[in-house]
């Protein structure tokens, strides 16, 4: 489908890609990975023709439709659902033509084509995608201009997914999503029926959704078969082999050089020395591998405090009196706690973090803190508060008043700042480097409690791994809000659910939370379809009696509803068996069988959703009768 041959691209004379080659076959789901600045987004722009290469070729057949997430989606009076539907240009054009066409033969052709592309089921499919990305049914009719930039990007993503192009390119699609929407997107992409290329630093998404990995490194493209974990393992083995070969060649060079140095002045050995010297010059030197990651984080260790370090008692918190976002919070934090806050965007996670940080006063109740408690608070919004005209060193010197320069540089060094980088202006730093500066600023005084609100947004995979390692080595308490499931699973040991104006302990792990979210969405969908809220009604016995009577009156409709329920139960049992099979480590030994099972799993998820829809429709028909 896509062939990249000897691709070279420069920016201001600096090589980004050099003689890079790769092939993407039809039907593959490819994860594009690499460090920040390696050239991943540049590669996408070259594929789309937005940039022109300095050499080589990108070949993509015109017969394939290509889709990307629009970045220019701005103020529109059009409703969200209509924005998504309009992404299918052919359907949109056919519907408009049907309104104006007079020729009966052409009208017949138009309706035949509309039927062929399943145009009348499109609104339901578009609504399903918007719901999966976190929109409520009542929001889908609202104009796009009523929503913030992050929510507009969700609409743009929904439009790209709805269009379902032959070749879909997604650049960091999880950036504007919360954990709940990411869970839905993972399931959607895992069963995407066409070709997909996705740039992502989300390990969980790459492990669940891709069949191949394209690694952008050292201006080259290297392809691997399998998910991200497989890529990482194979790359590690490759690097180990490369390192051994380098060491072997270095030893051979040293031996040759010693011979040349010893005998080049000796007439009897001069010929041999010259021969060795020529061999030494021709020797192909394999690059050495730096085993350690390029970025290291190191949070200073605080002294021990008696538990609890912080207690929240009967607290209401919000931004205006009489309108609390969260009510009656009763929680405590000890120094050995690792807590992740769960809940959809807008439910109050950041509000709770600000309360704990002391940035927001309680409207009622009280927050009790240990006398010597030091808190480190990280928020991506803090990047806007940095003085971009000063250097990281100047910012840290200001924060660490009274400390000598070498002490300040040592703190910056813990977060990957070399002398040169520390002396550059903050304006020249990448998003990831600014995030690392914030880590240094919030932790230089060894806080007892770290509050991290979306700490991974601008971090590449290596930096995320370094952050996980640093947090696991840190001896204080951690409260984290993150849309990175892998980070939550590896850092947190307690989960708090922030939803419906409350904060409460979630009794289960992240897998249990996934099931909880899925069930919540099913219930919401059922409520929306039934479109009825019952304040009071007959008791269970009376309802059962009424249903029994109705079955006698409408046996066909009752039978359809019961068959629908049985079909859903059967498919759910199949899903459970397949998930048990996929949970077995031995499952990943056979690549072919693994890929076949993953495809079957994606198909089964669609069948479950379709069966549930059919069941609900049958139930509705029976209820209306």
Q: What is the pLDDT of residues 393-449, one digit of tens each?
A: 999 999 999 899 999 999 999 888 889 989 999 988 888 888 889 999 999 999 999
Alpha-carbon distance 203 to 200, whole Å? 8
- pLDDT tens digits, 63-84: 888 989 887 676 678 899 999 9
Supply the pLDDT for residue 404.
93
- Using the predicted structure, report yes or no on whether residue 255 has a pLDDT greater than 80: no
Alpha-carbon distance 338 to 201, whole Å? 23
Question: Which CATH number among 3.40.50.10320, 3.40.50.300, 3.40.50.850, 1.10.3720.10 corresponds to the domain 310-513?
Answer: 3.40.50.300
Where along the chain do its domains lie? 73-164, 233-282, 310-513, 539-624
Task: Tell me if domain 310-513 and domain 539-624 are identical in fold.
Answer: no
The CATH architecture of the domain made up of 539-624 is Orthogonal Bundle (1.10)
Report angle CA 264, 267, 272 to the nearest 5 degrees: 55
Supply the pLDDT for residue 11.
83
Query: pTM (2 decimals)?
Result: 0.67
Closest CA to 294 of 439, 418, 437, 416: 416
Supply the pLDDT for residue 440.
92
- 235 pLDDT tier (thresholds 50, 70, 90): confident
Residue 134 backbone zone (phi > 0: left; psi -120 to 50: alpha; other: beta): left
Query: For residues 438 and 383, is the Cβ–Cβ distance under 8 A?
Result: yes
Closest CA to 40 of 61, 21, 16: 16
What does the block give as tokens for 247? 């060491």
- Using the predicted structure, report yes or no on whether residue 247 has a pLDDT greater than 80: no
- pLDDT tens digits, 575-614: 777 766 766 666 656 767 766 776 776 787 778 778 888 8
> In this structure, what DSSP letter does residue 311 have?
E
> In this structure, what DSSP letter does residue 143 have?
B
Supply the pLDDT for residue 286.
52
Query: For residues 471 and 376, is the Cβ–Cβ distance under 8 A?
Result: no
């Amino acid at each position: 489908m896509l062939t990249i041959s000897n691709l070279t691209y420069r920016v201001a004379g600096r090589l980004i890609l050099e003689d890079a080659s790769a092939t993407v076959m039809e039907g593959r789901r490819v994860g594009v990975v690499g460090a920040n600045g390696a050239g991943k987004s540049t590669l996408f722009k070259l594929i789309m023709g937005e940039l022109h290469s300095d050499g080589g070729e990108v070949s993509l057949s015109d017969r394939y439709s290509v889709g990307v997430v629009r970045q220019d989606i701005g103020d529109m009076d059009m409703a969200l659902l209509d924005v998504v539907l309009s992404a299918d240009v052919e359907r949109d054009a056919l519907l408009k033509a049907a309104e104006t066409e007079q020729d009966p033969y052409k009208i017949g052709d138009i309706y035949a084509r509309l039927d062929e592309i399943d145009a009348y089921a499109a609104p339901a499919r578009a609504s399903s995608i918007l719901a999966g990305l976190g929109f409520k049914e009542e929001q889908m009719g609202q104009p796009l201009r009523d929503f913030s930039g992050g929510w507009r990007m969700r609409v743009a993503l929904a439009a790209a997914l709805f269009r379902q192009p032959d070749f879909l390119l997604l650049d960091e699609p999880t950036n504007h999503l919360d954990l709940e929407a990411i869970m839905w997107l993972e399931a959607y992409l895992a069963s995407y029926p066409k070709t997909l290329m996705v740039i992502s630093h989300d390990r969980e998404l790459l492990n669940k959704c891709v069949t191949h990995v394209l690694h952008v490194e050292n201006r080259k493209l290297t392809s691997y078969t399998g998910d991200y974990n497989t890529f990482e393992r194979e790359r590690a083995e490759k690097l180990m082999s490369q390192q051994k070969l380098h060491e072997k060649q270095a030893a051979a060079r040293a031996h040759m050089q010693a011979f040349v140095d010893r005998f080049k002045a000796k007439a009897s050995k001069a010929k041999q020395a010259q021969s060795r010297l020529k061999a030494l010059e021709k020797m192909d030197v394999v690059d050495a591998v730096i085993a350690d990651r390029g970025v290291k984080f190191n949070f200073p260790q605080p002294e021990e405090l008696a538990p609890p370090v912080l207690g929240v008692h009967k607290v209401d918190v919000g931004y205006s009196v009489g309108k609390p976002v969260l009510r009656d919070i009763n929680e405590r934090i000890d120094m050995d706690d690792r807590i992740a806050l769960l809940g959809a965007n807008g439910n109050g996670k950041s509000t709770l973090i600000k309360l704990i940080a002391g940035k927001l006063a309680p409207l009622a109740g009280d927050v009790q803190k240990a006398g010597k408690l030091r808190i480190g608070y990280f928020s991506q919004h803090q990047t806007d508060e940095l003085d971009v005209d000063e250097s990281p060193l100047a910012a840290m010197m200001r924060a660490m008043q009274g400390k000598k320069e070498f002490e300040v540089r040592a703190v910056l060094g813990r977060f990957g700042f070399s002398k040169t980088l520390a002396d550059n202006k903050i304006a020249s730093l990448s998003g990831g480097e600014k995030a690392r500066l914030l880590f240094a600023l919030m932790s230089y005084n060894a806080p007892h409690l770290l509050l991290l609100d979306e700490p991974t947004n601008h971090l590449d995979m290596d930096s995320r791994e370094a952050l996980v390692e640093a947090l696991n080595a840190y001896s204080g308490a951690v409260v984290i809000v993150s849309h990175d499931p892998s980070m939550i699973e590896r850092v947190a040991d307690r989960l708090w659910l922030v939803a419906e104006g409350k904060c409460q302990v979630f009794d289960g792990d992240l897998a249990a939370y996934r099931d909880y979210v899925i069930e919540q969405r099913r219930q919401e969908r059922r409520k929306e379809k039934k479109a009825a809220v019952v304040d009071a009604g007959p008791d269970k016995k009376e309802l059962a009696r009424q249903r029994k009577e109705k079955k006698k009156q409408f046996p066909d409709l009752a039978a359809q509803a019961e068959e629908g329920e049985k079909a859903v139960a059967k498919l759910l049992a199949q899903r459970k068996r397949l998930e048990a099979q996929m949970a077995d480590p031995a499952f990943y030994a056979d690549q072919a069988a693994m890929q076949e099972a993953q495809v079957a799993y994606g198909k089964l998820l669609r069948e479950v959703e379709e069966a549930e829809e059919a069941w609900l429709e049958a139930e509705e028909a029976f209820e209306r009768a």
